[in-house]
Structure 1
Amino acid sequence: MHASYYHQAHACIMVFDVQRKVTYKNLNSWYKELREFRPEIPCIVVANKIDVDMKVTQKSFNFARKFGLPFYFVSAADGTNVVKLFNDAIKMAVAYKENSQDFMDEVLRELESFDLQKSENLSDQEESCPEEKPPSA
């Protein structure tokens, strides 16, 4: 992943494939990387492809519990829990955006409200200001 993927993110949905154990094992590194760039955004963990074998919903996946993250069993193929997942992710993202105390969000808000034109005009004025002469005695 690249840092730009996290730029201005307000929520994260981390998905693993219940048929591919390696994707579950990757959650730790994905989560660590996410927290380097966006330490506070809400994150949801998703077990996908439950339509292949519904018995997988009886399994316990400790990753989400370990970090206190919401967990969903979904099937992108048949739509099971997909709408609920996205509705919940959107609600979490909006709540986070409205109440964020994250330093990066504060910086981004400042940059969004920064008036580049005004800044350029101030720079131009500084360059055109006459030099001050010392007071004569």
Structure 2
Amino acid sequence: MTDASEEHDDNPNGVKPIYRLKCVVVGDLGVGKTTLVRSFAEGPRTRSITAEPKSMWQKEIKMASYIVSLSIWDTAGQERYRSLTGSYYRGAHCCIVVFDVNCLDSFQNVKEWFQNMDENSTNPEEIIKILVGTKRGSSSRAVSLERAESLADHLGVSYKEVNFGSQNNIRELFESLADLTVLVYKENNFHSNIPVELPQYQQKKTYCSCG
């Protein structure tokens, strides 16, 4: 099995390989998807209701032995139609499904979002998924932690919560998801491989676990 980190070890300049990942973020309207993405990609102080709307953010994450160039795709209002086309999921390596712990309806629609992904993705079994509950302030929650974790177990994914007030766990969420995605793709013979670039040669390569 070819390992991009092995290529890095053979590089006398010690330049880290860059893995290019596409991450899609889905969930009901108003659960905080854009706030979540913007807080990570641009920092908490840049959050503003007057900020220009975007559907994609680019963020670089530096790991110990490699770098992840993460393209994060927001639904930009398309979620109101309860259906996202295959073009949105095409090429996705990982996905964050978001609900609001203070909104029971958004939690009850989680399974529908997973189904939407399965129906519209070319290789849904290859997308690394995570369920995320968002919290705002100290309002009484409508969905208990135990209930959220139980649903995540049923869906076969991990569960994390983020608090927009404290910005708790937001950076950790994206970094751990990116790290897990690279690890899983490197250990499995997936059809949709991750583009890899070795900067010093300006040569783009594609990681393939079949060699």
Q: TM-score, normalized by length of structure 2? A: 0.44
Task: Name 1:26's counterpart in structure 2.
Answer: 109
Deviation >2 Å, runs of 4+: 50-60, 95-103
Once residues 47 and 15 of structure 1 are traced to their aligned partners in structure 2, the CA distance between those partners, rounded to angstroms, is 6
Q: Alignment partner for residue 35 of structure 1, among 111, 118, 123?
A: 118
What CA RMSD, in Å, does the superposition of the two structures yield over aligned residues? 2.7
The alpha-carbon deviation at position 95 of structure 1 amounts to 2.2
Any idea what the Cα deviations from partners look like across 1:45-71, whole Å, max 9, x if unmatched? 001015334766654312101022110
Once residues 87 and 188 of structure 2 are traced to their aligned partners in structure 1, the CA distance between those partners, rounded to angstroms, is 19
Q: How many positions carry a matched residue from both structures? A: 109
Change in Cα spacing, 1:18 to 1:100, as seen in structure 2 (3 Å) is: same
1:39 partner SS: helix
Once residues 139 and 159 of structure 2 are traced to their aligned partners in structure 1, the CA distance between those partners, rounded to angstroms, is 18
Once residues 174 and 186 of structure 2 are traced to their aligned partners in structure 1, the CA distance between those partners, rounded to angstroms, is 18
1:62-73 aligned at under 5 Å gives the runs 62-73=150-161
Once residues 158 and 170 of structure 2 are traced to their aligned partners in structure 1, the CA distance between those partners, rounded to angstroms, is 14
**Bigger Rg over Cα:** 1
The alpha-carbon deviation at position 22 of structure 1 amounts to 1.2
Identify the range of structure 1 (77-86 vs 7-16) with the bigger mean alpha-carbon deviation: 77-86
Task: Name 1:94's counterpart in structure 2.
Answer: 182
Once residues 169 and 140 of structure 2 are traced to their aligned partners in structure 1, the CA distance between those partners, rounded to angstroms, is 13
1:11–1:89 contact (8 Å) kept in structure 2? yes
1:46–1:73 contact (8 Å) kept in structure 2? yes
- Residue 15 of structure 1 aligns with an amino acid whose one-letter code is V
Consecutive unaligned residues in structure 1, runs of 5 or more: 114-137
Answer yes or no: is 1:49 the counterpart of 2:49. Answer: no
Of Structure 1 and Structure 2, which has the larger fraction of its residues in helix? 1
Once residues 31 and 49 of structure 1 are traced to their aligned partners in structure 2, the CA distance between those partners, rounded to angstroms, is 21
1:14–1:45 contact (8 Å) kept in structure 2? yes
Consecutive unaligned residues in structure 2, runs of 5 or more: 1-83, 196-204, 206-211
2:99–2:133 contact (8 Å) kept in structure 1? yes
Q: TM-score, normalized by length of structure 1? A: 0.65
Once residues 137 and 184 of structure 2 are traced to their aligned partners in structure 1, the CA distance between those partners, rounded to angstroms, is 32
1:74 partner SS: strand
- Residue 67 of structure 1 aligns with an amino acid whose one-letter code is L
Any idea what the Cα deviations from partners look like across 1:17-65, whole Å, max 9, x if unmatched? 1111111111101101212312221101001015334766654312101
Of Structure 1 and Structure 2, which has the larger fraction of its residues in strand? 2
1:41–1:96 contact (8 Å) kept in structure 2? no
Any idea what the Cα deviations from partners look like across 1:55-105, whole Å, max 9, x if unmatched? 6665431210102211001113421111111111111222244345344x1
